[in-house]
Every structure is written in C-alpha cells, then in structure tokens.
Amino acid sequence: MVQISRLGAQGAMGECVLLIPLAILVWQLVWLIQALRSLSPLKAMQSQMQMQYWQMMQMQQQQYQQMMAAQQQGQAAPPQGPGTGDMGQGKSEERPGGNDPGTPQPPPQT
C-alpha cells in the first residue's frame, strides 16, 4: 500500500486490475465448495425422483396394457344373438391372454 502513494493513479489502477479478479476467483472457489458439500442430498433427491418416475411409467404401462387387452377381448368375442340356442350358459371361452386367473378379465358379454 505504500507503493500506491508513490505510483499515484496508475498504481491504484494496477492494484484494482489484480484485486478484482482475485476476489472473483475466491468467491467462485467458495461457491464451488458449497456446491460440492450439497451434492449428496441432491443425489438422494435425484434418486428418489427417478424412482417415482419409474413407478409412474410402470403404472401407466400396466394401465395401457389392461386397456388394450380389454379392447381386444371386446373385439374378439363372437356376437351371440338370441337365435344361437345356448345363450352362453356352460360355455368356456378361450381368451386371448389365456385363462390365467392372475390377469384381470372383463365379464363375458351376452
């Protein structure tokens, strides 16, 4: 600081040219360290968001598949009119998804 008084305005200008970038560098380093410290909670939050997104996509896919299966079963069922004679009693229909009790099936249409 003693040199500033001897060099005058040019010395003060030279100090500003060096101090301002140095202050910005220190500020960025502090900012970077704070960001690195908060990284683990962010990763946990990101992981939770990914899991929720995956669950939502699985539910939508399952609903879509159930909707498509219901539409296909509705189109594949042969029309039964009153003139067929059996009225659908005692008849076992073969369903497109098989007769697996685990898959939800709509009631047969009469």
Four-point Cα dihedral 92, 96, 102, 108, nearest 10:
-50
Cα-based distances in Å from 83 to 36, 79, 93, 96, 110: 77, 11, 19, 25, 12
Mean pLDDT, residues 5-27: 83
pLDDT digits (tens, 9 = 90+) for 47-86: 999 999 999 999 999 999 999 999 988 876 555 656 555 5
pLDDT at residue 66 in the model: 94
With a pLDDT cut of 90, the percent of the chain lying above it is 35
The model's pTM is 0.37
**CA–CA dist 14, 1 (Å, integer):** 12
